[in-house]
Structure 1
């Protein structure tokens, strides 16, 4: 039996306002081709199917079209778990219909944890493996708030709540372990030691409640994780793998080799291998003086089938107000004259530190480009706050409450 582990599709994502539908379609076409060529039996998608809780009609059409196309391949089962970007209601709404296509949705933590256990059987009906389909665990799923608890107490309560959920699942799956049936468990979480990019939204309390891999139950053979966009191995015993996102979701991921994991069950043993994903569109950040940037772009050769998207960071020592206009004209000219690349973001920075920051352009990101935590950090710096740690922890708590309340409000409004 062959099982494919993928995650963090982020269908509907826009990079600096630029639509990524073509890239997702190319990935889906390649995914279908891979499933057919390798005769994959089961597809696991471990959270963040969509980029927004309430995706566009185009994003939904892409998702449903792919699931229909997968049903026409060798893949007999698709298991989808919710991520922190996903709305439980959006994923679960078509659950009954999708079961006809052998698609199982576990969007949020079920009332009965037994419902997370999904058996994987071959064509002859023989049990080959079992999956513990754990979605992103929201605060309300794993703990009961206590009046007067400190930030550190809440962090520890969240951490212990996550571990308790997995330990309880390990107990429920004990009968399979006694039969030596390979066990796979999913997750959408931040594990301590993971390498982050700029595009992951912070999870429990700004990732402070991340748990060490060593603390998770060793009973599972393979942890199929989502949330972290850079593919990486966290542990080899038990195996803990982030497969990463199939597309680079920010310029900080430009050097990642995107991948999936292919698991094979043979004679009761589980093995796995990394499967590289082709580059459909290069996203690249280039830095230097105006002259250096011009030279780099003149010599640039696009390695991807779709035109590259560039971030251009012009750095000059001395302030030249005329350079700002010249940079705008340069970007417009490049975008009009080149078919194999497009500059989607550019900045001009002057490094002369004798000038005020609004002239040197130390941080030209817009408010939309900054994370909430970065805005708060800047406010702390502006007010010369020395003891920041406790304030940051409190802000992380408030931010999580706001995000969860906003999602719940949207789901209630959507249901109406």
Structure 2
């Protein structure tokens, strides 16, 4: 069985107010072409179809137009699961109609049973070519409620079970059902998931929280590879934006996002995975690089380094024009107002600088918080939070301890902001 594994499209994303409609449209057109080239019999989209729970009409139009376009291909199966950015209710709303078109949508586990998550994948002639265990993103409470009424009472009450144990149980249950559905047929079993697994190989995925990528909160945010049935022939995961394997297991993979979702991801190549899998065999996985429709660059260094990099970029774009956005970070040297000092390097160029930032070390080298705020125009909420901490630290043991805990503080800060906007 051949299929394409992709995830984390985040349709409707407007990172730093950049209109990405053309970029996402170009990707979907390219993906359809690759499905035909590969001869994929199925497409698995492992969550975060949309960037927000209430996506724009344009984002929804792109999604449905793409699904309808696949009827002109030999791809006879589409599997869509919900991610932590998606509204499971919104994805599930047209599931009945889409199911009749052999597009299986599992937006959430709410009001579903194990059997609802497991189904056959068929070729164009209706012959079974695989079994899918479609497990979407779920919060701890949703998983607990899923099993609430199946637990045997202990002392008149339901026994407390850790969410990570329940997740492992869920994957065991859907796999057991898949084996029953497979019967004696020689067809593979593919599972899905949208979560943060531990022990990633390749580039371990630090999640970019500064551009709207929300971390999974709770025990589902650190899942061991043993959670997934070892007998499954492939596990297609979403949530991590880098292409990677879990615990170096070639059967458990993240496809990564086809798009740059934060400037810190700018230099990371984007892929979809073409998977050829058979029962009991190690899958053959080809990484297909996604062509760029928009270019993103993140430049770091002292003032002179940033200036030279902008000049070199301009020369490149004169020779090979492409819509380009830049993030600048002053990491060393004396404090300068980048917005003012680089005005000549940015005006009338073939690129747009979307953000000027200054590292904490530079900020603390003699510039007050108020001065920093006055001299910049494009700082994010995290930058201001960083400045606030830097301006209040004193050179003593206690402040050193606070500095060492900065990553924890910024993570909690982003979690609070995320919840406030939900």
Same fold by TM-score greater than 0.5: yes
* Alignment partners' CA distance in 1, 2:321 and 2:55: 26
Deviation at 1:105, TM superposition (A): 0.7
* Alignment partners' CA distance in 2, 1:294 and 1:366: 18
Question: What's the counterpart of residue 177 of structure 2?
Answer: 172
Question: What's the counterpart of residue 353 of structure 2?
Answer: 343
Following superposition of structure 1 onto structure 2, how do residues 27-46 of structure 1 map, counting pairs within 5 Å? Answer: 27-46=27-46
State the SS of the aligned residue for 2:72.
coil
Question: What's the counterpart of residue 262 of structure 1?
Answer: 274
Given that 2:163 and 2:220 are in contact with CA atoms closer than 8 Å, whether structure 1 keeps it comes out as no
Question: What's the counterpart of residue 61 of structure 2?
Answer: 61
**Per-residue CA distance 1:60-88 (angstroms, 9 max, x = gap):** 11111111111221111111000000001
State the SS of the aligned residue for 1:260.
strand
Given that 2:195 and 2:220 are in contact with CA atoms closer than 8 Å, whether structure 1 keeps it comes out as no
* Alignment partners' CA distance in 1, 2:370 and 2:258: 38
* Alignment partners' CA distance in 2, 1:268 and 1:127: 17
Following superposition of structure 1 onto structure 2, how do residues 214-363 of structure 1 map, counting pairs within 5 Å? Answer: 214-235=226-247, 237=249, 239-265=251-277, 269=281, 270-300=283-313, 301-302=316-317, 306-314=322-330, 317-319=333-335, 324-327=339-342, 329-330=343-344, 333=347, 337-339=348-350, 341-348=351-358, 350=362, 353-359=365-371
**Per-residue CA distance 1:120-151 (angstroms, 9 max, x = gap):** 122333222111000002222222699xxxxx
1:134 aligns with 2:135: yes
Deviation at 1:204, TM superposition (A): 2.8
> How has the CA–CA distance of structure 1 residues 208 and 262 changed in structure 2, closer, same or farther, with 3 Å as cutoff?
closer
1:123 aligns with 2:124: yes
Unmatched tracts of structure 2, length 5 or more:
149-159
* Alignment partners' CA distance in 1, 2:186 and 2:336: 70
* Aligned equivalent of 1:190, options 188, 196, 218: 196
Deviation at 1:305, TM superposition (A): 6.7
* Alignment partners' CA distance in 1, 2:170 and 2:293: 38
Deviation at 1:257, TM superposition (A): 1.6
Question: What's the counterpart of residue 214 of structure 2?
Answer: 201
* Alignment partners' CA distance in 1, 2:277 and 2:335: 62
* Alignment partners' CA distance in 2, 1:304 and 1:185: 42
Given that 1:143 and 1:161 are in contact with CA atoms closer than 8 Å, whether structure 2 keeps it comes out as yes
**Per-residue CA distance 1:26-66 (angstroms, 9 max, x = gap):** 11111011112222211100000000000011111111111
Given that 1:204 and 1:210 are in contact with CA atoms closer than 8 Å, whether structure 2 keeps it comes out as no
State the SS of the aligned residue for 2:173.
helix
* Alignment partners' CA distance in 2, 1:326 and 1:262: 47
Deviation at 1:186, TM superposition (A): 0.2
State the SS of the aligned residue for 1:78.
strand
TM-score normalised according to structure 1 size: 0.80
* Alignment partners' CA distance in 2, 1:346 and 1:106: 41
Aligned length: 385
> How has the CA–CA distance of structure 1 residues 180 and 256 changed in structure 2, closer, same or farther, with 3 Å as cutoff?
same
> How has the CA–CA distance of structure 1 residues 348 and 190 changed in structure 2, closer, same or farther, with 3 Å as cutoff?
closer
**Per-residue CA distance 1:214-235 (angstroms, 9 max, x = gap):** 3432121111000000110114
> How has the CA–CA distance of structure 1 residues 222 and 22 changed in structure 2, closer, same or farther, with 3 Å as cutoff?
same
State the SS of the aligned residue for 1:283.
strand
* Alignment partners' CA distance in 2, 1:368 and 1:89: 31
Given that 1:5 and 1:263 are in contact with CA atoms closer than 8 Å, whether structure 2 keeps it comes out as yes
State the SS of the aligned residue for 1:272.
strand
**Per-residue CA distance 1:333-368 (angstroms, 9 max, x = gap):** 1xxx223x221112356466244344467x979785
Unmatched tracts of structure 1, length 5 or more:
147-154, 408-416
> How has the CA–CA distance of structure 1 residues 266 and 218 changed in structure 2, closer, same or farther, with 3 Å as cutoff?
closer
Aligned Cα root-mean-square deviation (Å): 3.9
Deviation at 1:3, TM superposition (A): 0.9
Given that 1:220 and 1:238 are in contact with CA atoms closer than 8 Å, whether structure 2 keeps it comes out as no
Q: Which range moves more in the overlay, 212-221 or 78-87?
A: 212-221
State the SS of the aligned residue for 2:323.
strand
* Alignment partners' CA distance in 1, 2:321 and 2:234: 34
* Alignment partners' CA distance in 2, 1:238 and 1:288: 37
> How has the CA–CA distance of structure 1 residues 330 and 19 changed in structure 2, closer, same or farther, with 3 Å as cutoff?
same
